[in-house]
Chain A
């Protein structure tokens, strides 16, 4: 199975039904993407497939053949951080941190589609992502901060 992850071409030998999540974690050693539920109920496994946020725990690897995947490890440029990551730090959003990769990937996808989101936009886009520490208010704040940063950078 061949596809692109974080700008690199990869080839893996996994059964076609293996969820992308486990190919990333166990075959490609990209452990920033997390397992939380296995049923697309928690969003911890969120990655981008051709730029759109998907739940990799229910996406068979066969479906990503020839396509482009981006994970949390592929977000930051060579030096420094992605503006969403910087905003997350400014907002002091993470607690246990386990869900945050998925939250950030959902936020990046949202901001690509809606550069200046309202609270309602954020709630709609990020409600698939559970946070048991309930850092939601700070995540909401972080998304607004990220939007401002990205606006300033344009």
Chain B
């Protein structure tokens, strides 16, 4: 196998997608030496040498899911952890084996551990039960008399057999209906910080991402689509492009042009050498001012969707009791570090697709459609994802790669430039918020929030779904029942503003702005009535939301709320998303009129914890991902085009601006399992803006912060 140093441990060598690549790339003799696993459930197989292959339904995009999911299964299996490796898989057969309700493989919405905890534990228990029964049959002993320990079955008389020795026999046994479970109290993997299983591969350059896939005879492609959303290709003048050495072909499609070459660099240069006349279509007039005006008009709309309403209508609030402020956030790109790419190999009876995707089923269906093959003839291979954050939950570039491969009839790898990625994203939608509070006798009695913006679900079929309350509520995530705060009067409203900009699920989705709106505005209210920010929140948390109190108190205690270092100022925010609660205390100083964040202290309650170190890593990364966008990133539009194109004008957080993030976990093992990948992101923007207010008395109501402060727009 390519780039797999023999000096690495066997586990490191095969970690993650290793087995998959072995199966694909190695000659049969070598593959056999690794051992083909005997299947013991839809999720796990064990080879004769004990190698335990766990099939992950989730993609590894940095969140550590291939470690966490494996811990859950290996726990009940009582596996030898050093022999466990994980492969992300997809195929109609795998999907069918997961049950009738399982129609779409998706890694998103921080759902992997919440959704898969129980099925994976059950699969581990079932596999362990079969191994024990295989040993019982071999020894003529009652199964109940046998015990297991880290990949070995023991007989009371001292005999033992490894799982590898028993796997083939076990795979021939029927699965028990209710296999025995281990008591949770004896968990030895779940709840511990076992190191991620991809570390060695990821520090040696051996980890294979989509962009690293190499197929014999593979050509490289680079593509460019109309810079105006929805535009089409008009005329293409390609003589200069074709003259570049290494260029094989220029392929013109309805809405994009691709150049195919022996290597990628000539393909990229040739794309730049194309002279394309675009039919820009209806959206050529789009600009940022127009977007902003449309959002603000949405705030004044007559008939909003009402997602939550309690007490008196805000229309009846006495004017002298009302505080009001308008907020706004821009479009944002996911900008994963690995530019989008996809490798396709079509053969007469099969199609292989290698792509870092969050939606394997969509890839599979698109490949079947593009090639005319049956779904059973399509093989989707998921290498490591160089970041996802929701971007790879779309299929747009995969469809381009498939179209190119169908036309070429040769294996091909499509790789987008960074510019193409930033200008053709599925962005976090821009949103405006109008927040109103009723304050009487020094207390907050009512909260009225209206958000206006586009609805991501309008991009997805069937359109029928769009009318459902669930779909209408999506842009209001974080404002409804999950909100911890209670008031006499509450009204939460959403207004749809239909805009021609592609939008999608971006890490923490609607929570990314609802937390900013509400947690900033509550701080405004606290300042107005002269109450400490934490004290105000303590008073507003509903009794039904008691878990929030513990999280807030832990962050307040560990973050030394009220006792910042000299010259520093604090801000706090509290928000629930994806079933988990996170509070953050930020400490910053102002340097030359701009914020310098020194310290972030986070507390989180995500229910049962599979791997504390992964939880800390995700809250740290989630918070800093949010800080990145809060500080400097925004997308602008001019003449129908995205203005930004690369990291010089779409600035992301760098090391020098990244403070340490202390993460404290509230132990809550009996609560429902919550998500973790997105939970750290929502609270950071309001916590930072609240600290800026504490430092300067200036309230930042539009993101990103740096231009808002510089331009006096706040």
Contact = CB atoms under 8 A, between A and B. Distances in A.
B660 A137 contact: yes
Contacts of B686: none
The 4 closest A-B pairs by CB, nearest first: A32-B205, A96-B62, A98-B386, A134-B624
Contacts of B627: 134
Nearest to B206: A32
Contacts of B206: 32
Contacts of A26: 220, 263-265
A34 B387 CA distance: 13
A99 interface: yes
A147 interface: no
Given A14-B265, A73-B3, A137-B658, 10 more contacts: A25-B264, A31-B214, A39-B648, A44-B337, A76-B5, A81-B204, A95-B63, A96-B62, A130-B652, A133-B62
Determine the main DSSP class of A at the interface with B: loop
Contacts of B617: 92, 95, 135, 138
A35 B204 contact: no
Contact of A132 (B196, B336, B417, B660): B336
A129 B655 contact: yes
13 contacts: A31-B2, A81-B200, A89-B199, A92-B196, A92-B617, A94-B198, A95-B62, A96-B61, A97-B198, A97-B384, A129-B655, A133-B621, A134-B623
Contacts of B516: none
Interface centre among A36, A85, A129 (most CB of B within 10 A): A36
B264 A72 contact: no
A132 B647 CA distance: 11
Contact of A96 (B264, B386, B652): B386
Interface in B415-444: 415, 417-418
B378 interface: no
Interface centre among A14, A27, A95 (most CB of B within 10 A): A95
A115 to B, nearest CB: 19
Interface of B: 2-3, 5, 7, 61-64, 195-196, 198-209, 211-212, 214, 220, 245, 263-266, 268, 335-339, 384-389, 415, 417-418, 613, 617, 620-621, 623-625, 627-628, 646-648, 652-656, 658-661
A131 B205 contact: no
B661 A137 contact: yes
Interface in A88-135: 88-89, 92-101, 104, 122-124, 126-135
A26 B91 CA distance: 30
A18 interface: yes
Contact of B385 (A37, A89, A96): A96
Contact of B655 (A42, A96, A100, A140): A140
Given A36-B418, A96-B338, A80 B7 contact: yes
Contacts of A42: 337, 647
Interface in A32-75: 32-39, 41-42, 44, 71-73, 75
Interface centre among B204, B335, B386, B625 (most CB of A within 10 A): B204
Contacts of A101: 205
B265 A79 contact: no
Given A41-B648, A130-B337, A94 B199 contact: yes
Contacts of B653: 134, 136
Interface centre among A15, A19, A126, A132 (most CB of B within 10 A): A132
Given A126-B655, A134-B658, A71 B205 contact: yes
Nearest to B659: A137
Nearest to A89: B199
A78 interface: yes
Interface centre among A29, A38, A42, A137 (most CB of B within 10 A): A137
Nearest to B263: A26
B67 to A, nearest CB: 11
A26 B214 CA distance: 9
A97 B207 contact: yes
B626 to A, nearest CB: 9
Contact of A88 (B203, B209, B337): B203
Contact of A79 (B7, B63, B201, B417): B7
A34 B214 contact: no
Contact of A98 (B338, B389, B613, B620): B338
Nearest to B212: A31
A27 B214 CA distance: 12
A139 interface: yes
Contacts of B200: 81, 89
Nearest to A78: B7
B622 to A, nearest CB: 8
Given A41-B647, A127-B656, A133 B625 contact: yes
B205 A33 contact: yes
A147 to B, nearest CB: 16
Contacts of B621: 95, 133-135
A141 B3 CA distance: 27
Given A92-B195, A123-B656, A130-B654, A38 B202 contact: no
Given A95-B63, A123-B656, A127-B655, A76 B264 contact: no
A136 B198 contact: no
Nearest to B338: A98
A98 to B, nearest CB: 3
A132 B337 contact: yes
Contact of A133 (B5, B268, B387): B387
A30 B336 CA distance: 21
A131 B620 contact: no
A18 B265 contact: yes
Contact of B418 (A15, A38, A94, A128): A38
Contact of A38 (B195, B337, B417, B654): B417
Contact of A100 (B203, B245, B647): B203
B7 A76 contact: yes
Contacts of A135: 617, 620-621
A76 to B, nearest CB: 6
A76 B387 contact: no
Contact of A32 (B3, B195, B196): B3
Given A41-B648, A81-B203, A137-B661, A124 B245 contact: no
A34 to B, nearest CB: 7
Contacts of A78: 7
Nearest to A77: B7
Nearest to B653: A134
A96 B337 contact: yes
Given A32-B206, A34-B386, A38-B418, A132 B5 contact: no
Interface centre among A33, A37, A124 (most CB of B within 10 A): A37
A141 to B, nearest CB: 9
Given A76-B5, A123-B656, A132 B201 contact: no
Contacts of A137: 620, 624, 658-661
Nearest to B625: A134
Nearest to B618: A95
A74 to B, nearest CB: 9
A12 to B, nearest CB: 11
Given A39-B647, A94-B198, A99-B337, A127 B654 contact: yes
A136 to B, nearest CB: 4
A122 B337 contact: no
A95 B266 CA distance: 32
A32 B196 CA distance: 19
A137 B206 CA distance: 23
Nearest to B623: A134
Contacts of A39: 418, 646-648
Contacts of A33: 205
A97 B7 contact: no
